[in-house]
A and B are shown apart, each in its own frame.
Chain A
Amino acid sequence: MANVDIFQVRTHEAPLLPAPVSTTGAIGWMRQNLFSSVGNTLLTFFGMYLAYSIIMPFIQFAFIDAIWTGDNREACLATDPNTHAGACWAYVKAYLPQFIYGRYPEMERYRVDIVYAMFVLLLVPLLMPSAPQKTLNAILFLVVFPIVAYFLLTGLEIGDFVVFPIVETAQWGGLLVTLVIAVTGIVASLPLGIALALGRRSQMPIIKLVSIIFIEFWRGVPLITVLFMSSVMLPLFLPEGVTFDKLLRVLIGVTLFSSAYMAEVVRGGLQAIPKGQYEGAMALGLRFWPMMYLIILPQALKLVIPGIVNTFIGLFKDTTLVLIVGMFDLLGQIQSSFSDPNWSTPTQGHTGYLFAAIVFFVFCFGMSRYSIFMENKLHTGHKR
């Protein structure tokens, strides 16, 4: 009892002390992520220098020195002949209609606008997993929309009665051609790709062999040779007098090419379906096609949505290649605008390419984000 005042017995919990300043908040984060060791600190400064030397000239060019308004090249010339002016956005503004519609007649451009609007209105709900009426939406998008878009874009004349005046595809250009080739290519290659994927997994040796040869052939050659082939050799394959529209020839080449890639994507999905699903379907007495479209394909296609989106991104970027066979997609239209003496300045090329890069980046980056979103949504098991 005598020692009782030596011990101190706490009657309540000691207050929690805050964590050391150096381990929390911004300072802690920086210590951990930027300056954890000498080497790391050096790396950080090197990285910051690198980023600075890339980003600063870019901002200087694209915003600070940029010329936003003007009617011709005079506006975009540097005031001091020894320096370069910034981006000539006035030129992009003047050429924007060409970049979007090509040489589509000005009076008829509303038709393209309608197609763009329909495309967005039908595609967005289709991409949103929570939106209702998926089947109706898919039918509208995959069947009705292409037919309507075809007549809107090319024109419709019944006898002497002109609903929409005909616009030759040679007059199409810019983003319109890019989107037409990419979307048609992907939509048309989907059924072909599914058929090829099923053929490659078929038990019938000849069908399997033919599918394999077809797929490996198209995957083995560069798209540019395919485009040359469709523009040079396709006319040779047809009887005398039968000619194809140039855009259609390119579309055929692109579709065959991307259907091979699509087939491999779909095959990946088919392989991921457990054997029990096939056996279950057969036990129910389903034949091959009902088994496929009722049981297997709905599951397999859902699995490969990210893969399909990735194929689409690749195709979307590859549409630029059509400028080599003399068509004017977005890049081709921009490239051809450089020959206009009215806007010819030292920075015209840089501005045009920057604009093209931004447009392609926005489209492709958006699609790749969507593909990651779907991947996370579909990837339900084995999450850590």
Chain B
Amino acid sequence: MKKMEPENRGAFSRRTFFKSLGTVAATAATAQVTSVAAELEKVNAEKIIGPAAVPVTLKVNGEKLKLMLEPRVTLLDALRNYSSLTGAKEGCDRATCGACTVLLGDTPIYSCQKLAIEAQGVEITTVEGLAKNEKLSKVQQAFLTKDALQCGYCTPGFVMSVTALLKKNPRPNAADVKHACAGNTCRCGTHPRILAAALQAAGIETASKTEVIDYV
């Protein structure tokens, strides 16, 4: 068994670690802490990834993206800083703002909370992957028409959350949209327009309540 040297800190697969945690935790209740460490060591020794960069292949927007990444690199970091896909934005890097939302399969995820190595093998869709042949997707077109954006930095995240919602539920109501966008933050205050855009993309038109009245 390979001994864990200090320079090997972090040199275990996070996936195996979590996988083994269930059984280890049960053991921990009765055994000494040292035996837990030994158990972990055994599990982790089976497959060591990193800490140096390893080859990672991501399937993004229908294309293969081959990168050399340290295992600790997040999917967001990989997209933004190791490739030119900067559509997903970094707003907080801790799953509280949703600007980094991408689809993993059909599921919207915070790409800042997914390690790139864990995102292999599943189709990833970023905001760059929605428009086909320069034609905006329904959701993108609705965001544009309804002016559901101001500075636009949170927009890719909202667009992805709404896209995921409509895949699952093509005729959502306002409450569904609010729920689907609960993980997205906007500081410019475009929320009412995002709601209107999401509904418009689902074929439900809401009228603007703005009224212009002449002063004189």
A binds B: no
Q: Which chain A residues have a beta carbon within 8 Å of chain B's beta carbons?
A: none
Q: Which chain B residues have a beta carbon within 8 Å of chain A's beta carbons?
A: none
